[in-house]
Amino acid sequence: MFKIVRREELAGGSIILNEIEAPLIARKVKPGQFVILKASETGERIPLTVADVNVEAGTITVIYMVVGKSTALFKTLQVGDGYQAVIGPLGQPTHIEKVGKVVCVGGGTGIAVLHPIARALKQAGNYVISIIGAKNKDLLILEGKMRVISDEMFICTDDGSYGYHGFVTDVLKKVLKENSDVKLVVAIGPVPMMKAASEITREFKIKTIVSLNPIMIDGTGMCGGCRVSIGGQIKFACVDGPEFDGHEVDYDELMLRLSAYKEDEQLKYHEEPCKIGLAKAKS
């Protein structure tokens, strides 16, 4: 069992942070890599990017939003409980080097994935401009942590409840117009956000890294479920990624593939059959 040593509810309980004992993984994991978690015997294998690591304590931190049955099950785990399985570190680490000025764009829980990468870029000597956003003020996470590692930071909310009223991509455009010396953009968040960010950076001809989150089972290249089209070539996000050149990704295909099990998952989440055989209650 992989024990949870710290649990925090962020964004009013819709986003959960778990710090988990996984000493072998903690020793190895690098920014950009992910783990697969399985809560219980009957649970699914769910990939989550490692948001933080404490090598001395032998722990890793994951941050996830509750979206379906499996993450709802994760949410029930308290400090002292554990995951049946945590596997990793998986995927290629982010390529970190000093390029000069970088823009790190994070949306929603994508900020949790972005933070260790942005921090590594800062430590490598880059000038880091961060743009983070969420639907509203309550859903914005890791503001403090991002501020610490950013030379400049912009915040936006879709409803205008905090920071700029608008999308991170609006701010990205503005920042790129004002900073002609940006060498790299890292954009992590919902697929439509990454797509929009990549379209903007394409105009400015700036190299852009995105982190993809396709459906995945084993995370070791075995099932092929996470295949994505990158520049017309098929890649497996688990072993070739999860990060790719944002200008090469077929986002529309990724979105379709992500929706493959939507109906099943909704069935599972909302219409659990009655254990004693009574007729299903309509939710």
Burial 253-276 (b: 16+ CB within 10 A, else e): ebeebeeeeeeebeeeeeeeeeee
Which residue, 29 or 182, has its beta carbon nearer to another protein? Answer: 29
In angstroms, give the least distance from the CB of 114 to another protein: 22
In angstroms, give the least distance from the CB of 270 to another protein: 11
Half-sphere exposure of 61 (CA within 13 A, CB side): 18
Which residue, 57 or 267, has its beta carbon nearer to another protein? Answer: 267
Which residue, 98 or 262, has its beta carbon nearer to another protein? Answer: 262
In angstroms, give the least distance from the CB of 3 to another protein: 14
Which residue, 86 or 156, has its beta carbon nearer to another protein? Answer: 86
In the chain, what is the greatest distance between 2 CA atoms, to the nearest angstrom?
Answer: 65
Which residue, 99 or 217, has its beta carbon nearer to another protein? Answer: 217
- CB–CB of 100/181 below 8 Å? yes
Which residue, 5 or 73, has its beta carbon nearer to another protein? Answer: 73
In angstroms, give the least distance from the CB of 200 to another protein: 25
In angstroms, give the least distance from the CB of 191 to another protein: 14
How far is the C-alpha of 5 from the C-alpha of 23, rounded, in Å?
13
Positive or negative torsion for Cα 96, 241, 112, 19: negative
Residues lying near another protein in the complex (CB under 8 A): 24-25, 28, 38, 42-45, 69-70, 73, 84-90, 217-218, 220-225, 227-229, 234, 239, 252-253, 256-257, 259-261, 264-265, 267-268, 272-273
Which residue, 205 or 282, has its beta carbon nearer to another protein? Answer: 282
Torsion of CA 268, 274, 278, 281, to 10 degrees: -50
* 258 contact partners, CB below 8 Å, separation of at least 6: 191, 213, 214, 215
* 180 contact partners, CB below 8 Å, separation of at least 6: none
In angstroms, give the least distance from the CB of 79 to another protein: 21
Cis before 116 (ω within 30): no
Residue 170 to residues 15, 97, 146, 156, 255: CA-CA distances in angstroms?
Answer: 25, 27, 19, 9, 22
In angstroms, give the least distance from the CB of 152 to another protein: 35
CA gyration radius, the chain: 19
In angstroms, give the least distance from the CB of 196 to another protein: 20
Q: Which residues does residue 54 pair with via DSSP β-bridges, in sequence order?
A: 59
How far is the C-alpha of 182 from the C-alpha of 85, rounded, in Å?
41
Which residue, 125 or 224, has its beta carbon nearer to another protein? Answer: 224
